[in-house]
Amino acid sequence: MAVIQANANEVKLLARLMRAEAEGDGELGMLMVGNVGVNRVRVRCLDFVDINSIERMVWQSPGGFEAVHYPYFYQRAREKDIRLAQRCINGERFHPAEFSLWFFRPDGPCPARWWGQWNAGRYKSHCFYNPTQSDCPDVYRTY
Residue pLDDT, tens place only, 28-69? 999 999 999 999 999 999 999 999 999 999 999 988 899 999
pLDDT at residue 143 greater than cutoff 80: no
Q: How sure is the predictor about 104, in pLDDT bands with cuts at 50, 70 and 90?
A: very high
**b/e string for 1-29 if b means 16 or more Cβ within 10 A?**
eebbebeeebbbbbbbbbbbbbeebebeb
State the architecture of 8-140 in CATH terms: Orthogonal Bundle (1.10)
Task: Report pLDDT for 64.
Answer: 86
Query: In this prediction, what percent of the chain has a pLDDT beyond 90?
Result: 94
72, with CB counted inside 10 A (0-12, 13-18, 19+), is exposed
CA distances from 98 to 22, 62, 133, 135 (A): 16, 23, 13, 16
Helix spans in 43-136 (H): 54-58, 79-89
pLDDT at residue 116 greater than cutoff 80: yes
Task: Report pLDDT for 3.
Answer: 97
Instruction: Enumerate the β-bridge partners of residue 114.
Output: 117
Residue pLDDT, tens place only, 10-21? 999 999 999 999
Question: For the chain, which residues make up each domain, given as ranges?
Answer: 8-140
Task: Report pLDDT for 63.
Answer: 80
Task: Report pLDDT for 97.
Answer: 98
Mean pLDDT across 76-86: 98
Query: With contact defined as beta carbons under 8 Å apart, do 120 and 128 qualify?
Result: yes
Q: What is the pTM of this model?
A: 0.97
